[in-house]
Amino acid sequence: MLSFQEIIFKLKQYWAERGCIIQEPYDVEVGAGTMVAETFLRVLGPKPYRVAYVQPSRRPADGRYGDNPNRLYKHSQLQVILKPSPADVIEQYMGSLEAIGIDLRQHDFKLEEDNWEAPTLGAWGIGWQVMLDGLEISQFTYFQQCGGIDLEVVPAELTYGLERITAFLQVKDSVYDIDWTKDFTYGDVRYNDELQYSVYNFEMAEIPTLWKLFELHEGEAARLLQAYDPKSPDKRRFPLLPTYDQVLKCSNLFNTLDSRGAISVTERQMVIQRVRKLAVGVAKAWTDQRQEVAQ
Amino acid sequence: MSLATETQGLRFLLEIGVEEIPDWMIPGALENLRLLFEKLEVPHESITMDATPRRLVLRADGLPERQPDSQERVMGPAKSAAPQAVAGFARKLGVKPEDLSIETTPKGEYYSFLKKVAGRSTKDILAEGLPAIIPQIYFPKTMYWTGKGGVRFIRPIRWLVALLGDETVPFELAGVPSGNLTSGHRRLGAREVVVTVDDYQRRLRDHYVILSAEERRQRIAKGMSGVRVKPDSALLETLVYITEFPTPITGNFDPQFLQLPEEVLVTVMRHHQKYFSVEDAQGKLAPQFVAVMNIDADSEGFVRSGNERVLRARFNDARFFWETDQKKKLVDRMQDLRNVTFQKDVGSYYEKLTRMAALAGKLGGDADAHRAIELCKCDLTTELVKEFTELQGVVGGLYARAQGEREAVCTAIYDHYKPESMEDSLPRNRAGMIVSLVDKLDTLISCFRVGLAPTGSRDPFGLRRAAQGVVRILVEGKIKTSLFDLLPGIPGIGPLRDFLEDRVRFYFKEIRGFRYDDVNAAIGARGSWTDLLEVEARLIRLQNLRGTPDFEALAAGFKRMENILVQAKFPGGGDIDPRLLEPGPETDLYEEYRSIEGQPIENVISKLRPKVDLFFDNVLVNAPDVRVRQNRLTLLSTLLAEFSTIADFSEIVTN
């Protein structure tokens, strides 16, 4: 039986053999692997790219104090970007499942319509949820737009829910019981994260402080974006990647405020728009900056 | 398979190989493809359409090798033209000048030539036409994949089979060349399979693809025959179109979960897992389910146990939500609705409830209706509805029952989203009808007020469905009220009136099947049409009157009166002066009118009709004496008014 980390090794190996750069997780907190610049910015423009990385993804509202066997504040996504998407991309994906020991002749594999959309990123795509014996194990998306920009080259994004796949393979009813290694369970490694972040996100995060932080990061991102000059001869030096970090900070603070119940539904739309505006601004500037570099 | 030898001409096969198409779009896309193919005007004897999630297939029989030859007359220079011009014309056509003939036209005599045009080969027509029509197949949402500006389709096209008889119809689309290679089942078949027009379906079957939807349907039905499955034709269709080789399996769940409401269990199974639910001999939910796999067998039992585990986790979630939700009663959630936005320009659900209560007052809602209104949206704040949004209303009703509300209130909450379609039933009790009515009316009023009327096919708030629900409840629920009295007198309401009128017409014509001219006449009748029960009554009366021998003639007479009054620009009103009436048909008509005044038209139609006919045959309305003329117009106007409460007869189409 493969451990959690062996499954990760095998998947990384599989995609490395297919020309992917294996990146380490990004070091700013995000809600999904898509938000990392390796996806969000790299899918823009005409340049081919192939990358795979495991991204711990934080969703404050999904925390359950470590009590719920299926729901996590922080879960691990394996994010694969194939740009442009190869014609046999689904076959390649199925091959990756075989590589971790799933014999697809013995299992029910289905692709069910599920189009993906991330309003805070101005991004959407067409695709499916991948169902294995009735369990959603991956999201498969052909990106169409990112940062409000129609993509020149269409990438395929494969997102594996690693905890779910491992629980499936190890036949465990609770994510906390899965073997991270042969000596340590997932619970040994992550239970404290789940408990303590739930307490923080639901009970102790100070709302005015979070708002203040949100506004500080928002202000910094906006200030930088305003300073970006497309006509400047030196524009390739301009720190758009750090600007984008500020946007990611905003996004995570927004999610935390949301889980804290601090955002009414009406406000919600407005805050999403504020983050989206920054993300779109970075995507536009980035596209402009890359064009220059390409020339 | 003897068909091939019986029919003349060639067989044609087109298979568009696509990555998994959303099941619900497939039947429409197939029909669309068929229509597009017909537009190519290639003669054929029969046509068959088939599809699986990964292929759209058109097969036609009896195609000709080529179109018939035709002739075309090419006109050349005038007969009087110089010989060089004539020779040049002939040279251009590749003939000698003596092959030309002379054609006489109104403009004079001209050289001409009857050119033979060879019919185009069917293969050429298809090779040119197919890549043009395939991207035109309509799908609700499309994508591009070969790069910006590339072909758009529902999902990427990965292979194309196009065969005419023994030959490939050569073309390319989205970088994919057509050929004779199909693809088998993703796991059980080969990636590339050579086919011919004759062995195509059989070859697919060898590679675990059942091409015919009907065959897949039967295979599912047969596989479930040992289990008492709750019939669900919509789910069956979904499963038919998400599988290429469907095989049902039966799984079990812990009977303890049966303590949860059946609605919750069925929703989890049906909507989230696409399982059929199973009943016991008494028709009660059994702790079993049927899943349909896209594979031939579950020999190791992996698929069954996998699905059982998923369902167990889902049911555990649902139970957890149910128990958590019980900690806060519905009534204690009302204030929370202040933070739940209905629509950003319209406000919160709390405000919506306040407006709904006011409307219910106008409709004569009782205490049960008012209590149901207070509680009906509170389930939006529950965990169970957040997880299973399609159970809104239903969960509210179940919780209300668990919390000891009156049965009528619970039923009203449970039903208040009904009817959700034309086929759906109405709320079961009067309180439910009132709640549903005021909910939908408020949505309509609020959205129109802030300019959110539907445009074209865009109707994000489902306002057409809401309006249709209003009309159905008023008519079929027999709620007597004036629709427009329920609408506030504010800007933006004019378009809503038109919108509702449109739905009323649609309902009576398309759903109830009344004649379109009767509907126009009943709505155009004097007096308000906004009491829909009254409109319905008029329509039924009109339908009955149509069966009587005097109806058409009298309707024609009323129409004539209307025309005369319009032409005379008669303003209406005024009293008839009996002294100005001419003896004979005019007086007769007046007296007839006096004797039948106030009676329903059904009782008097046979007596009135001859008097009207005689009047028009003998009396000149446009009399020279102004006073006489005015009096006659008053007589006609009065008569028309008397009977126009049932219909505007000018709308009735007579033979």
Q: In this structure, what token pair is assigned to residue B150?
A: 């590339």
Whether the Cβ atoms of residue A164 and residue A173 lie closer than 8 Å to each other: no
Q: Are residues B374 and B314 in the same domain?
A: no
Among candidates A37, A47, A44, A33, which has minimal Cα distance to A243?
Answer: A37
What is residue B206's predicted lDDT score, i.e. its pLDDT?
98
Model confidence at B616, pLDDT cuts 50, 70, 90, reads confident
Q: What is the pTM of this model?
A: 0.80
Q: Are residues B530 and B563 in the same domain?
A: no
- Write down the ipTM of this complex: 0.94
Separation of alpha carbons A177 and A150, rounded Å: 43
Rounded to an integer, the average pLDDT of B546-572 is: 85
Which of A142, A150, A269 minimises the CB distance to B148?
A150
What is residue B364's predicted lDDT score, i.e. its pLDDT?
85
Q: Are residues B454 and B500 in the same domain?
A: yes
- Chain B, 597-626: which have a CB under 8 Å from a chain A CB? none
Asked whether residue B583 carries a pLDDT value surpassing 50, the answer given is yes
What is residue B104's predicted lDDT score, i.e. its pLDDT?
87
Chain A / chain B CB contacts < 8 angstroms: 105
What is residue B3's predicted lDDT score, i.e. its pLDDT?
46
What is residue A294's predicted lDDT score, i.e. its pLDDT?
62
Residues of A in contact with B341 (CB under 8 A): 264-266
pLDDT digits 0-9 by tens, B30-67: 999 999 999 999 999 999 999 999 999 999 999 999 98
Rounded to an integer, the average pLDDT of B443-466 is: 86
Separation of alpha carbons B543 and B608, rounded Å: 19
| Cα-only R_g, chain A | 20
Q: Are residues B82 and B137 in the same domain?
A: no
- Chain B, 164-223: which have a CB under 8 Å from a chain A CB? 186-188, 191
Q: Are residues B314 and B403 in the same domain?
A: no
Q: What SS3 class is residue B238?
A: helix
User: Chain-centre distance of CA B491, in angstroms?
Assistant: 31
Q: Are residues B317 and B260 in the same domain?
A: yes
Separation of alpha carbons A147 and A156, rounded Å: 16
Q: State whether residue B335 sits within 8 Å of chain A by CB.
A: no
Q: What SS3 class is residue B375?
A: helix
Residues of A in contact with B23 (CB under 8 A): 113
What is residue B438's predicted lDDT score, i.e. its pLDDT?
96
Q: In this structure, what token pair is assigned to residue A275?
A: 């983050």
Q: State whether residue B32 sits within 8 Å of chain A by CB.
A: no
Whether the Cβ atoms of residue B271 and residue B389 lie closer than 8 Å to each other: no
Contact A173 B309 (CB under 8 A): yes
Which range among A19-28, B318-327, B485-494 shows the weakest confidence by mean pLDDT?
A: B485-494
CA B156 to chain A, closest CA, distance in angstroms equals 9
Those residues of chain A that have pLDDT short of 70 are: 264-266, 292-295
Domain end call among B534, B569, B596: B534
Best-predicted range by mean pLDDT among B154-158, B226-230, B511-515?
B154-158
Contact A107 B303 (CB under 8 A): yes
What is residue B458's predicted lDDT score, i.e. its pLDDT?
77
Q: If you search the block for the tokens 């036949």, which residue do you land on? A: A171
Tell me, yes or no, whether B541 lies in a domain: no
* Of B609 and B276, more confident: B276
pLDDT digits 0-9 by tens, B372-421: 999 999 999 998 998 888 899 999 999 999 999 999 999 999 999 999 98
Residues B262, B268, B270: CA angle, nearest 5 degrees: 95
Percentage of chain B lying above the pLDDT 90 cut: 59
Which range among B352-361, B430-439, B481-490 shows the weakest confidence by mean pLDDT?
A: B481-490
Separation of alpha carbons A41 and A248, rounded Å: 13
Among candidates B251, B246, B228, which has minimal Cα distance to B236?
Answer: B246
Q: Are residues B43 and B76 in the same domain?
A: no
Tell me, yes or no, whether B161 lies in a domain: yes
User: Chain-centre distance of CA B109, in angstroms?
Assistant: 60
Average pLDDT value over all residues in chain B:
91
Which range among A133-142, B469-478, B600-609 shows the weakest confidence by mean pLDDT?
A: B600-609
Beta strands B176-179 and B341-343, pairing class: unpaired
The number of folded domains in chain B is: 5
CATH of the domain at B414: 1.10.3210
What is residue B278's predicted lDDT score, i.e. its pLDDT?
97
Model confidence at B2, pLDDT cuts 50, 70, 90, reads very low
DSSP 8-class letter at A140? E
Residues B95, B100, B101: CA angle, nearest 5 degrees: 165
Residues of B in contact with A113 (CB under 8 A): 20, 22-23
Q: In this structure, what token pair is assigned to residue B335?
A: 């204030």
Separation of alpha carbons B417 and B435, rounded Å: 9
Q: If you search the block for the tokens 């536009």, which residue do you land on? A: A284
- Chain A, 160-189: which have a CB under 8 Å from a chain B CB? 168, 171, 173
CA A104 to chain B, closest CA, distance in angstroms equals 7
Q: What SS3 class is residue B547?
A: coil
Q: State whether residue A107 sits within 8 Å of chain B by CB.
A: yes
CA A152 to chain B, closest CA, distance in angstroms equals 5
Name residues whose C-beta falls within 8 Å of residue A111's C-beta, 6 or more positions apart in sequence: A90, A128, A129, A130, A131, A140, B19, B20, B53
Contact B303 A113 (CB under 8 A): no
Asked whether residue B341 carries a pLDDT value surpassing 80, the answer given is no
Domain end call among B182, B204, B226: B204
Q: Which of B18, B20, B21 is best to mutate for the A interface (most A CBs within 10 A)? A: B20
Q: Print the domain residue range for B434.
A: 331-534
Tell me, yes or no, whether B1 lies in a domain: no
Q: Are residues B529 and B557 in the same domain?
A: no
B419: preceding bond cis by omega (within 30 degrees)? yes
CATH of the domain at B573: 1.10.730
Tell me, yes or no, whether B540 lies in a domain: no
CA B294 to chain A, closest CA, distance in angstroms equals 6
Q: Are residues B506 and B594 in the same domain?
A: no
Which of B187, B310, B313 minimises the CB distance to A109?
B187
| Amino acid (one-letter) located at B167 | E
Separation of alpha carbons B530 and B484, rounded Å: 6
CA A47 to chain B, closest CA, distance in angstroms equals 12
Q: Are residues B508 and B403 in the same domain?
A: yes
What is residue A295's predicted lDDT score, i.e. its pLDDT?
60
Q: Are residues B370 and B462 in the same domain?
A: yes
What is residue A265's predicted lDDT score, i.e. its pLDDT?
59
Element (H, E) at A94: helix A89-99
What is residue B211's predicted lDDT score, i.e. its pLDDT?
98
Q: State whether residue B316 sits within 8 Å of chain A by CB.
A: yes
What is residue B1's predicted lDDT score, i.e. its pLDDT?
39
Q: State whether residue A195 sits within 8 Å of chain B by CB.
A: no
pLDDT digits 0-9 by tens, B236-257: 999 999 999 999 999 999 999 9
Q: Are residues B482 and B584 in the same domain?
A: no
